[in-house]
């Protein structure tokens, strides 16, 4: 990740009518924002934002740097970031909705709805053993990248542009391990789940999610794909930071505001300002103080007991750490469970184009956090672990 130093920092705390023990003191928040700015600057991040919630309300937020460095446009509360793989939680909620309506069962074989997958080679038996539940937990054995054949040339598509391209590649793919035996992250798995939604409902994935998740939750500035014209002024650019190994110099590449996620939107296509993601987190924590109508809408989207079902750990994400008895992260149904001491945080990270982000909630306190960056070091989130992990751990301390 990379950044330009900001000439000024926009930071303030909003704390209203909250129990004193849950409020973030100005001194504690100031210390956190200094750390936030220092680590984003050290990784040369152009722009970043963070919001902390308690009981469904934003109690503190902070914006740093630029949404468009060339034009001097600063990150504000209205800035629209891209949340990449956090989108998978929307796809999973849609699957759970259809389960509750009796249209599917989580242990149904995926080929019942996506028969094209019979073309994939499975040396462990039959592809019929792969279930929707396995796909939700990244335990089906499918590959991680959606488009593993690109050489990164400018004329090549950013992602596959339509379903027929994925189907054409299936005879050249294989199941990598016995389905259901372990975790292995897979982007295509969520495209296959999206096909289930489309074939059962008759709606394109984007339409179904808009009608059945975004609209009832009031996420009015969320969208998929290209930015609507009336939101274009708030869309952040995204950047790559590349360091020359010989000179040690950083090169900042401005990728612009738009990119085409193609067929991969169901696994990584959500765009929104942090305020919309905060409303989503309020739903996840079932927080609607004194608003029974909003709680009713939450239940109509998905009963909270279903979310709690999705948060049950199923597979450790690090097999070596698990073997040592030191695993601190596991996967449920789409959501990750991250342990820090005695606290289990529920959340997801995202990274696509130059954007990286994460959301986490503490289910025992109704506290939650969303953080978004518009810059990525070459090599992805893994290349920026120093700042990403430090910022994540520091902000998790605020909602412990």
Q: What does the pLDDT look like over 53-98, one tens digit per residue?
A: 999 999 999 999 999 999 999 999 999 999 999 999 999 999 999 9
User: Which residue, 254, 283, 329, 212, is CA-closest to 71?
Assistant: 254
Rounded-to-integer distance, Cα 129 and Cα 140, Å = 9
Residue 110 lies inside a defined structural domain of this protein? yes
Kindly state whether residue 276 falls inside one of the protein's structural domains: yes
Q: Tell me if 150 is assigned to some domain.
A: yes
Measured over the CA atoms of residue 220, residue 224, residue 229 and residue 232, the dihedral's sign is positive
The residues, any chain, with a CB within 8 Å of residue 3's CB and separated by 6 or more, are: 40, 41, 43, 44, 45, 46, 47, 48, 65, 375
Q: Which residues contact 145 (CB under 8 A, 6 or more apart)?
A: 187
Secondary structure element (H or E) that encloses residue 40, with its range:
helix 26-42
User: How far is CA 142 from each of CA 111, 177, 190, rounded to the nearest angstrom?
Assistant: 14, 8, 10
Question: Do 265 and 77 meet the contact criterion of CB atoms below 8 Å apart?
Answer: no
Instruction: Supply the mean pLDDT for the chain.
Output: 90
Quote the pTM value: 0.91
What is the CATH number for 131? Answer: 3.40.710.10
Token pair of 296 as six digits: 């009713």
For residues 3 and 376, what is the distance between their CA atoms, to the nearest angstrom? 10
Pairing of strands 367-373, 47-54: antiparallel
190: in domain = yes
For residue 121, tell me if it sits in a domain: yes
Let me know if residue 61 belongs to a domain. no
Q: Which residue has the tokens 């630029």?
A: 66
Classify residue 161: in a domain, yes or no.
yes
CB 182 within 8 A of CB 107: no
The whole-number pLDDT of residue 11 equals 31
Residue 102 counted as domain residue: yes
8 A C-beta contact, residue 227 and residue 266: no
Would you place residue 320 in the very low, low, confident or very high pLDDT band (cuts 50, 70, 90)?
confident
- Tens of pLDDT along 250-306? 789 999 999 999 999 999 999 999 999 999 999 999 998 889 999 999 999 999 999
What's the domain range around 204? 84-225+260-310
Length of the chain in terms of residues written: 400
Neighbours of 61 (CB within 10 A): 22
Count: domains in the chain: 1
């Amino acid at each position: 990740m990379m950044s330009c130093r900001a000439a000024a920092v926009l930071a303030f705390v909003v704390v209203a009518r909250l129990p004193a023990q849950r409020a973030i003191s100005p001194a504690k928040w100031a210390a956190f924002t200094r750390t936030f700015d220092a680590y984003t600057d050290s990784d040369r991040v152009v722009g970043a934002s963070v919001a902390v919630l308690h009981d469904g309300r934003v109690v503190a937020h902070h914006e740093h740097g630029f949404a468009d460095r060339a034009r001097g446009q600063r990150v504000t509360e209205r800035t629209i970031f891209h949340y990449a793989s956090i989108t998978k939680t929307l796809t999973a909620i849609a699957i759970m909705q259809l389960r509750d309506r009796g249209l599917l069962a989580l242990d149904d074989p995926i080929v019942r709805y996506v028969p094209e997958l019979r073309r994939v080679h499975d040396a462990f038996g039959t592809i019929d053993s792969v279930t929707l539940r396995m796909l939700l937990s990244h335990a089906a054995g499918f590959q991680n990248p959606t488009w593993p054949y690109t050489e990164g040339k400018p004329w090549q598509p950013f992602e596959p542009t339509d379903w027929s391209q994925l189907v054409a590649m299936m005879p050249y793919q294989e199941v990598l391990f016995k389905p259901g035996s372990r975790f292995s992250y897979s982007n295509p798995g969520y495209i296959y789940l999206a096909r289930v939604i489309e074939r059962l409902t008759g709606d394109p994935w984007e339409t179904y999610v808009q009608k059945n998740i975004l609209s009832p939750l009031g996420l009015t500035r969320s969208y998929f794909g290209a930015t609507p014209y009336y939101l274009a002024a708030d869309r952040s650019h995204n950047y790559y930071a590349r360091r020359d190994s010989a000179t040690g110099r950083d090169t900042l590449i401005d990728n612009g505001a738009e990119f085409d996620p193609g067929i991969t939107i169901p696994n990584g296509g959500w765009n929104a300002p942090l305020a919309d993601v905060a409303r989503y987190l309020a739903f996840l924590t079932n927080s609607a103080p004194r608003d029974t109508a909003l709680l009713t809408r939450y239940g109509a989207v998905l009963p909270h007991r279903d979310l709690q079902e999705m948060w049950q750990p199923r597979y450790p994400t690090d097999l070596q750490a698990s073997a040592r008895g030191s695993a601190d992260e596991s996967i449920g149904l789409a959501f990750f469970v991250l342990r820090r001491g005695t606290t289990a945080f529920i959340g997801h990270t995202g990274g696509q184009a130059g954007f990286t982000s994460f959301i986490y909630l503490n289910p025992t306190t109704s506290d939650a956090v969303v953080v978004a960056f518009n810059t990525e070091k070459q090599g992805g989130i893994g290349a920026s672990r120093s700042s990403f992990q430090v910022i994540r751990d520091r902000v998790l301390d605020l909602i412990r």
